[in-house]
Structure 1
Amino acid sequence: MTTTVTRRLRPPDGYAFSGTLRSLVVVRHDPCGRLADGDFWLSARTPEGPASLHLARMGAELTATGHGPGAGWIVERADAIAGLRDDLGDFPALAARHPLVARLAKTFSGVRFPATGRLFHRLIRAVLEQKVTGIEAHRAYRALVRHFGEPAPGPAGLVLPPDPDAVAATPYWTFHPFGVEQRRTQALLRCAVEAARLERCEDSVEATRRLTAIAGIGPWTAAEVVRTAYGDPDAVSVGDFHIPNTVAWALAGEARGTDARMLELLEPFAGHRGRVCELLAAGGIAAPKFGPRMPIRGFARF
């Protein structure tokens, strides 16, 4: 008999359902999740067992329904996953310091930072996204999830995120047909070995410290993970190809920027630096482009 647990949530006025939850699923098709207008599904390996969460928007309320052995755990955390524990705190006052940030903060005031409380699933995506295009990374992610796929509880037909123990026991050449070369594969395998310890981290500070102690995991990957696992609004993806230029252009009118310059410009927004970066992305802000685009490579053919 499948366990089902339901809970009703009351989001704040102006809450942006899709804008808040979009970061939790891969665009177009994610075997572990689904997002449509007012309807969201996500599978997870919880401390209490496999589960799927369904969030449905009905008027001013959200209905959270959990399925599977981990239904109680995931429904208890449904408000965090929906971003309802994200506290803007002093951000409105900080945003007022820059006219563009103030405008974007008003435009996207309903977007919140979700916090899934589960780290390894997002870590898989982040490792696969290292130094490649989004198309390559998402293609590899879908192939990897299907390879390790186990049916998730519930009626949505989702697949559970890969079991870390199964990933850790897999030889690296198995990942090659997914389009993942040895460097990223070895980083992923090291993360899988440490997954149980990583999932026990109390906060984003501890998680960042433990993540960056793993060979192949730098500040960029750690920030991508803690921003959704813990809802950390201050996590900045240092080492990104585009973000330093975007921040320099948006906040100072400079077409190109370094990581150091990016952090300098974001310092007035300390505590919400990642939130500012996300607002710039949501607003479609981008620095002028020079030179050719990064090519899409096919490692599986090498």
Structure 2
Amino acid sequence: MDDDHCYLAVRSGDARFDGVIFVGVTSTGIYCRPSCPAVAPKRENTVFFPSAAAAQGAGFRACKRCRPDATPGSPEWNARADAVGRAMRMIADGAVDRDGVAGLSAALGYSERQLQRLLTAELGAGPLALARAQRAQTARVLLETTDLSMADTAFAAGFASIRQFNETIREVFARTPTELRARSAHRDGSARLDTVGHPDGGPLAGTISLRLPYRAPCDLGHTFGFLGARAVPGVEEVTPDGYRRVLRLPHGTGIAELAPGDGPGYVRCRLRLEELRDLGTAVQRCRRLLDLDADPQAVAEVLGTDTLVAPLVAAAPGLRSPGHVDPAELAVRAIVGQQVSVAAARTVAGRLVERYGKPLTVPIGGPSGGLTHVFPLVETLAEADPQELPMPRGRARALVALSTALASGDIDLGPGADRDESAERLRALPGIGPWTADYIRMRALGDPDVFLHTDLGVRQALERLGHPGDGHSAATTARAWRPWRSYASHHLWASNSRAAPSPPRTRPRSAHRRTPHPTTKDTR
């Protein structure tokens, strides 16, 4: 988009571009999101930035009315597989705060100077500035929703010093931290800090409530249903309002409770963290889980014009492609669920959790405790005896091989992973065929353009629509759905649940596949 097109988005108040572009108003020195409710500035008084960090670096302060730093993330970083896209996903996950720019550069295979040049050319800011903008947003959440001391807030948000914290808050929000807290309209008493679950004086537990914005429409009912149907006992559970699960975070354990908002445009998120330093990372992982940074309009513009899937898109507007909070966990569960029903996969995964998972200090969820464990580490599963795992021996050996590769770093499924390389290495492991590798790529790596053309559920949905269900024909047809084929897969799966039950079918076997393809009741 050139500046003239950006200004048209501002004049129309188009919320689709929130988080994609930021408008700086030279006459006031503030920057806004395109949908800011204030009167649109004159064209000659506007400059445009590709990131909040770039606007802050140019000396603009965040608008107090539209809060541009709290927009949904750009959907571009979900789709892009180049170094900049991978870097942005890692920065959002807190890589700079944990490992510094040197660690981020090394993980991407670039020098610090090369990475600085790449990010500055495309985003107008380097990795430190991008991470600083994220820390400022995390600090504001803590200031506005908790009674945490200023010093604890600074270090929990990832700042290295109180001075750096104070200077950043003043520069970004044009207020001191004390003023920002005093004027907050979001402290409703729902957020608090406590030590419940740590009677031995262990790490401080923080409970924080916040809103996760998204671009409308968003079919949250389908997303929560999808996750709830696959909830692993002890790690996940469905609640009366939504869904919650245990999180493994860089500095400790967390609990995430997610539910539809009281109004449109956001998801209610309640996080309980052992270490408040994990707040930013926990938020980003919850956003990836629910695919909240997606642009449903962009998806509909492609899929909604195809005569085959357009009726499905119209029947379920805003359908998302759920990701995952822990790519390694998702990969293990994909192996566990091969050739078994959803219920059976949940049972087997629950047994793995009970035997190899780390128990929580205090179970969460009533007297019986619906959440009891953290999902097992791949390092633990790599040392397991395949004969003792509750599954067929071939699948058990595949699970141990996968866990070994993940634990050793031979396969990277993190936010900065090269998707093509990771998928290729997955397919090279014994017991992992194309379907499993692609499913892991879709959900663990968050690739929006994966089409599971051999999946039985996809084939049944296509046949119901009058299309040949064979894999070759399906793959050929799906080329027109790029770059949103993951969403097409979800629309086809969703159409099966809306259709009347069909009689059981016998699936033909292929002599050329190394592992059987999953059935419609696999762990999708």
Q: So what's the TM-score if we normalise by structure 1?
A: 0.82
The residue aligned with 2:269 is 64
The residue aligned with 1:260 is 472
Question: Following TM superposition, by how much is the alpha carbon of 1:126 offset from its aligned partner in structure 2, in angstroms?
Answer: 0.8
Task: Indicate which of 42, 57, 76 corresponds to 2:245.
Answer: 42
CA offsets 1:232-280 (integer angstroms, 9 cap, x no match):
232222443443343244252x3xx322121012111121222112112
Are the structure 2 counterparts of residues 12 and 88 from structure 1 closer, same or farther at C-alpha, using a change threshold of 3 Å? Answer: closer
Moved more, 12-21 or 163-172: 12-21
Structure 1 letter corresponding to 2:434: P
Distance in 2 between the 1:117 and 1:203 partners? 18
CA offsets 1:186-214 (integer angstroms, 9 cap, x no match):
11001111224324352543432332232
Alignment of 1:208-223 (within 5 A): 208-223=423-438
Identity %: 22
Question: Following TM superposition, by how much is the alpha carbon of 1:57 offset from its aligned partner in structure 2, in angstroms?
Answer: 3.0
* Contact 2:236–2:246 (Cα < 8 Å) also in 1: yes
CA offsets 1:60-116 (integer angstroms, 9 cap, x no match):
242322223464221243323232112336422322333451121122113222333
The residue aligned with 2:287 is 79
The residue aligned with 1:226 is 441
1:128 aligns with 2:128: no
1:278 aligns with 2:490: yes
The residue aligned with 2:321 is 113
The residue aligned with 1:161 is 375
Structure index of larger Rg: 2
The residue aligned with 1:297 is none
Question: Following TM superposition, by how much is the alpha carbon of 1:58 offset from its aligned partner in structure 2, in angstroms?
Answer: 3.5
**For structure 1, which runs of at least 5 residues remain unmatched after alignment?**
295-302
Structure 2 letter corresponding to 1:80: R
* Contact 1:115–1:231 (Cα < 8 Å) also in 2: yes
Distance in 1 between the 2:282 and 2:249 partners? 7
Structure 2 residue matching 1:110: 3-state secondary structure: coil
Query: RCO greater where, 1 or 2, for CA within 8 Å and sep 6 or more?
Result: 1
Distance in 2 between the 1:31 and 1:222 partners? 26
CA offsets 1:163-203 (integer angstroms, 9 cap, x no match):
1111111111111xx2x011100110011112243243525
Distance in 1 between the 2:477 and 2:501 partners? 15
Are the structure 2 counterparts of residues 155 and 291 from structure 1 closer, same or farther at C-alpha, using a change threshold of 3 Å? Answer: closer
Distance in 2 between the 1:172 and 1:242 partners? 30
Question: Following TM superposition, by how much is the alpha carbon of 1:288 offset from its aligned partner in structure 2, in angstroms?
Answer: 6.6
* Contact 1:248–1:261 (Cα < 8 Å) also in 2: no
Distance in 1 between the 2:217 and 2:240 partners? 15
Task: Indicate which of 199, 211, 217 corresponds to 1:8.
Answer: 211
Distance in 2 between the 1:37 and 1:250 partners? 35
Structure 2 letter corresponding to 1:172: P
Structure 1 residue matching 2:295: 3-state secondary structure: coil
Task: Indicate which of 154, 175, 182 corresponds to 2:393.
Answer: 182
* Two-structure CA RMSD over aligned residues (Å): 2.9
The residue aligned with 1:298 is none
* Contact 2:247–2:374 (Cα < 8 Å) also in 1: yes
Structure 2 letter corresponding to 1:124: V
1:142 aligns with 2:142: no
CA offsets 1:11-38 (integer angstroms, 9 cap, x no match):
3444222312343344476321123453
Structure 2 residue matching 1:41: 3-state secondary structure: strand
* Contact 2:231–2:238 (Cα < 8 Å) also in 1: no
Alignment of 1:19-34 (within 5 A): 19-27=222-230, 30-34=233-237
* Contact 1:6–1:75 (Cα < 8 Å) also in 2: no
Distance in 1 between the 2:418 and 2:321 partners? 15
Structure 1 residue matching 2:256: 3-state secondary structure: strand
Structure 1 letter corresponding to 2:424: R
Structure 2 letter corresponding to 1:64: C
Task: Indicate which of 242, 255, 259 corresponds to 1:52.
Answer: 255
Are the structure 2 counterparts of residues 239 and 49 from structure 1 closer, same or farther at C-alpha, using a change threshold of 3 Å? Answer: farther
* Contact 1:65–1:75 (Cα < 8 Å) also in 2: no
Structure 1 residue matching 2:459: 3-state secondary structure: helix
Distance in 2 between the 1:182 and 1:262 partners? 32
Distance in 1 between the 2:426 and 2:506 partners? 33
Are the structure 2 counterparts of residues 292 and 82 from structure 1 closer, same or farther at C-alpha, using a change threshold of 3 Å? Answer: closer
Structure 1 letter corresponding to 2:491: L
**For structure 2, which runs of at least 5 residues remain unmatched after alignment?**
1-203, 509-524
1:205 aligns with 2:420: yes
Moved more, 270-279 or 110-119: 110-119
